[in-house]
Structure 1
């Protein structure tokens, strides 16, 4: 039997559960009740012809519906794929075509739809793929649940990877992969059902949300408080408020969320009338709805011990800013855990040891860019680059950097990071059929440039994104962080891409978003500021700087900026 499915059943016997509905109406549902709903749902799925190993896609907006629906699929022996959700700007005809491509890639047998997407079930009419609503699952009889002999080799998740929805790709995660990674993450983070409360707003179509902050607490019997990404983005203060209210101990988010929340926490505390006094630093800095609001009196972040930062490049400045802003609310100086992960590893690859201070590796820029060596340098000196150290690989995972010839590299030698171990998956599902994720020796090529320092992982950037100028390897994240610091540039909305200057010599271009993009004078000021700041910090001048309106830069469904697609905007 699957150890993962056994764990779901065991967790249902405990007292823990999940709280949903914040900030409107909080509803707490025990994992035992969710399991009963899932048993009934499994009976419905079996009656609809679902068999062991078949794929089921889920399109639902709330964790309260996703949790029992996903568990229903697992109890019936199927695999789960969380579909990307349409937004208010999505053209339904395009979404329908993209969704059909995804369903074809995973060979879906059924699609489960929940609110607010039930009407989209009609888009699948005539496709041969069945549609089941969450309401229909809920009406199922738990006593009629099937008994399915699921093994560790059977698929549990077909996780869609970030990238073009026109060419979808899913990672096939088995029950064995999933359980190995959950066990490794729990051991490293020292997660304990009797002590921890997990708080999340992460999207469930992303692996960090689905695996780390729904599947893990549901099968380990850990208390969970979860809201939607829209709730957080509409009012960023909700995240720290939920941590304070429920005494949250564990949370996670991509880097941009820590930078955004740091700005919110740094604002003056809201007074008795509910409106903070504006400060000079806050004027003109509101990038998102709700960001101008100050933190409420009594906000207490002292319970938070493990705040994982991952899923996108980590900015040391953003981490330090979050810790500094949270300090007056009791946030521990060791709370942030910088991490490395990817869907091909199920989720987690390495965690910085929790309870220890942020660890930063400052290296000589010339040695890094020209000789692919991370030579330690004075943090206060010029000509340096700084990276967060992401901790040793999780138990059961090996990490090695290889050079271009496939030769393993030594300490502080920069190459392409490769992984292997129990939680490393074996197959991609693509439009051209299945293909292996692993190469010779069972190693997974991550596509990330990085190095190991005394056994701990450091990531420099994506191989495909590195800009080569005069033999130098320039990392776009370095350029982007400088550009984001220019007045008028939206935080988290700067992209650096390769660019052929005059059609011959390789250079780079920078595209940034600004709320002032319609003002020619402001555009000239921002362009000059970006060009000057980047040239001074990087030692190379951008061939082109483009200032674009808000919402222009292309992003993946999980919110990551797409550099390759962004370059097309600059032609």
Structure 2
């Protein structure tokens, strides 16, 4: 039996009655112990096996309610299968297009079954019209409990994690039982999880690796108390996050950078300093997107009014290809920045310390977790030293052996086990620093300009919607390579206001990177392309923008 499943079973037996999951906040909270979740999982597993699920079979899940998802995914593992959380349609989704994409994903992962739960059970007719087999989660626990857990090896797939990119070209990261066990135990050790006293609060989506692995699978497997709401509940009322931390005396939470900025702004508008108590928070993990020091400062300054310690900010580096986490910053060290010379970074790929006002600041993300090795590699393959900037490569027990794609399996590791991440960065005293994504770096006259610098400058302009500025490459890789900036603003549509906004954005960007965008495009809020997990999609924005710019240049 895999060590991961063995740990799940041991927790259900020994700690299952003491710890559990609370869902349904804020309207109708209900708590289920992990023992209760496991009991439902055994019945669901019995139904799956009776229904023909074979060992190593792939099962897709489309549901939003954590109380339903938790026993369902555990049931699949008890039945010897692998889990894929499908990307969820939104009110603006074209359901016909979503169905076509879903059919492609199911074919890619080799799944013939979708487990369907609220609120997506209304999509049953869409699945039927497209020949997609499904079972309703509401009745799956009515079967007989599985007599014996289906034993699988460490190399068996546990999660087939869809990447955050466009669903037009789907790709799934194959996470094995061995990968999952290695990363979970390393994260538990590095974060010094206290199963008797730590309490997690999370709104992260379960179709994203941080939500699925970090804030469902980990607490369910080690027996940690969890309070779980959906992203919709958070976005509908962001202060719910602070309310739940206060009410449940939470010690651990996590989110991408944009969410901390959003919560910081909302907390700043609360007059009653006794309304929330954030003093119990010891880890506020910040990951999944570049860490912006201004956003963190907004969060910590606002949180301090409610007793929050700034050192609880917990920068991290992670990716689905390493199951979840690569590195954690030292505990209770807060956000630490490395300030480096911008010219040396852009022209020589060196991270030279600097106190200049024009210096670039990057977050120190800690050393790799136990079992993970890192190295920095130049374009030609030469392994670089400290403060030399290149591509980050990783290897270790948590690193996926490969992807599943529409064209078949693709290996992720080279002959020596190294995974090329596509992230550009460097190390300082063994700690990892991320500068950006290799595919996003803008090359102008021999300079490497990182889009995050452009986006942060654009976001400082009044009228630009926070977290909704994107720098994109135009004519990438050619002698005419340029860049443009796309921002969202409530001023979109007002000709005069747009003109002023575009000029101000262009000026701020030029001041920040000494290069001027070929165009600044202003869009209405909610129109920038984003991944299912909420991250901005530079490539998709770039494709749209490039077409518009080329059309304009042709007309001129």
Short-chain TM bin:
over 0.9
Does the C-alpha gap of structure 1 residues 257 and 126 become closer, same or farther in structure 2, counting only changes over 3 Å?
closer
Tell me which residue corresponds to 1:171: 173
Aligned residue among 42, 51, 55 for 1:52: 55
Structure 1 residue 3 displacement after superposition: 1.0
In structure 1, the partner of 2:10 is: 10
Secondary structure at the residue paired with 2:60? Answer: strand
Distance 1:532 1:130 in 2: 55
1:103-118 to 2 correspondence within 5 Å? Answer: 103-118=106-121
Q: How does 1:324-363 map to 2 (within 5 A)?
A: 324-363=301-340
Contact 2:79 2:150 in 1 (8 A): yes
1:304 counterpart (271, 281, 285)? 281
The CA deviation string for residues 84-142 of structure 1, in whole angstroms up to 9 with x for no partner, is: 11110111101100110110110103110001111323333376653111112121222
Counterparts of 1:147 and 1:334 in 2: how far apart (Å)?
A: 43
More divergent stretch after superposition (104-113 vs 31-40) = 104-113
Do the aligned partners of 2:267 and 2:303 also contact (CA within 8 Å) in 1? yes
> Which of 180, 187, 200 pairs up with 1:185?
187
Work out whether residues 274 and 306 of structure 2, in 8 Å CA contact, stay in contact via their aligned partners in 1: no
| Contact 1:364 1:376 (8 Å CA) reproduced | yes
Contact conserved, 1:106 with 1:429, CA < 8 A, in 2?
yes
The residue number in structure 2 matching 1:369 is 346
How far off is 1:540 after superposition?
0.9
3-state SS of paired residue (2:368): coil
TM-score (norm 1): 0.93
1:367/1:374 contact within 8 Å kept: yes
Residues 341-389 of structure 1 show CA distances to partners (whole Å, capped at 9, x for unaligned) of 00000000001111113210000001100000000011xx232100000
Structure 2 distance, partners of 1:399, 1:204, is: 28
Match of 2:214? 212
Q: Does residue 23 of structure 1 match 2:26?
A: yes
Deviation at 1:440, TM superposition (A): 3.3
Question: Is 1:545 aligned to 2:530, yes or no?
Answer: no
Which runs of structure 1 show a deviation greater than 4 angstroms over 4 or more consecutive aligned residues? 126-129
Contact 2:202 2:253 (C-alpha < 8 Å) held by counterparts? yes
Indicate whether 1:63 and 2:66 are aligned.
yes
CA distance in 2: counterparts of 1:479 and 1:207, whole angstroms:
28
CA contact under 8 A between 1:44 and 1:136: conserved in structure 2?
no
- CA contact under 8 A between 1:42 and 1:145: conserved in structure 2? no
Contact (CA 8 Å) 2:81, 2:157: kept in 1 or not? yes
Instruction: Give the aligned partner of residue 253 of structure 2.
Output: 251
Output the CA distance in 1 between the equivalents of 2:125 and 2:403: 29
Provide, for residues 210-266 of structure 1, a one-character-per-residue CA deviation record: whole Å limited to 9, x for no partner.
Answer: 000000000000000000000000000000110010000000000000111111111
Alpha-carbon separation, structure 1, partners of 2:463 and 2:147: 57
* C-alpha RMSD over aligned residues: 1.3
Q: How many residues align?
A: 542
**What's the secondary structure of 1:441's corresponding residue?**
coil
Cα distance, 1:567 vs structure 2: 1.6
Structure 2 match to 1:137: 140
Secondary structure of 1:192's counterpart equals coil
Aligned to 1:477: 452
Secondary structure at 1:480 match in 2? helix
> Aligned partners of 1:268 and 1:243: how far apart in 2?
16
Q: Structure 1 residues 482, 23: closer, same or farther in 2, change over 3 A? A: same
Q: Could you say which residue in structure 1 is the equivalent of 2:551?
A: none
Aligned in 2, Cα 1:268/1:420: closer, same or farther, shift over 3 Å? same
The answer as to whether partners of 2:160 and 2:174 remain within 8 angstroms in 1 is yes
Can you give the 5+ residue segments of structure 1 that lack an aligned partner in the other structure? 271-295
Q: Does 1:468 align with 2:443?
A: yes
- Is the 2:349–2:390 contact (alpha carbons within 8 Å) kept by the matching residues of 1? yes
Q: Deviations over 1:543-570 (max 9, x none)?
A: 1111111111111111111111102332
2:14 pairs with 1:37: no
Q: Quick one: distance in 2 between partners of 1:364 and 1:193? A: 43
Q: Deviations over 1:513-557 (max 9, x none)?
A: 001101111101110110111111211111111111111111111
Match of 1:124 in 2: 127
Residue 292 of structure 1 is matched in structure 2 by: none
CA contact (8 A) 2:99 2:130 kept: no
Residue pair 1:366, 1:383 contacting (<8 A) in 2 also: no
Which structure 2 residues correspond to residues 191-202 of structure 1 after superposition, within 5 A? 191-202=193-204
Q: Which residue matches 2:542?
A: 567
1:448 aligns with 2:423: yes
* Structure 2 residue matching 1:43: 3-state secondary structure: helix
Q: CA-to-partner distance for each residue in 1:153-176, whole Å, 9 max, x for gaps?
A: 111000000111011000000000
Q: Could you say what secondary structure the match of 1:66 adopts? A: helix
Which of these residues, 231, 234, 237, is aligned with residue 235 of structure 1? 237
Question: Superposition pairs for residues 77-116 of structure 1, below 5 Å?
Answer: 77-116=80-119
Tell me, yes or no, if the aligned pair for 2:157 and 2:176 is still in contact at 8 Å. Answer: yes
Q: Is the 8 A contact 2:367 2:430 kept in 1?
A: yes
- Alignment pair present for 1:556 and 2:531: yes
Using the TM superposition, give the Cα deviation of residue 308 of structure 1 relative to its aligned residue in structure 2, in angstroms: 0.4
Mind listing any 5+ residue stretches in structure 2 that lack a counterpart? 549-556
The one-character-per-residue Cα deviations of 1:317-349 (angstroms, maximum 9, x if unpaired) are 111221111011111121011110000000000
Greater mean alpha carbon deviation, residues 54-63 or residues 560-569: 560-569
In the aligned structure 2, how far is the partner of 1:398 from the partner of 1:547? 43
- Cα pair 1:42 1:146 within 8 Å, conserved: no
Q: Distance in 2 between matches of 1:485 and 1:117?
A: 39
Which residue does 1:283 correspond to in 2? none
Counterpart contact for 1:108–1:129, Cα < 8 Å? no
Aligned-pair distance for 1:61? Answer: 1.0
Moved more, 472-481 or 4-13: 4-13
Q: CA deviation at 1:146?
A: 3.9
CA contact (8 A) 2:202 2:229 kept: yes
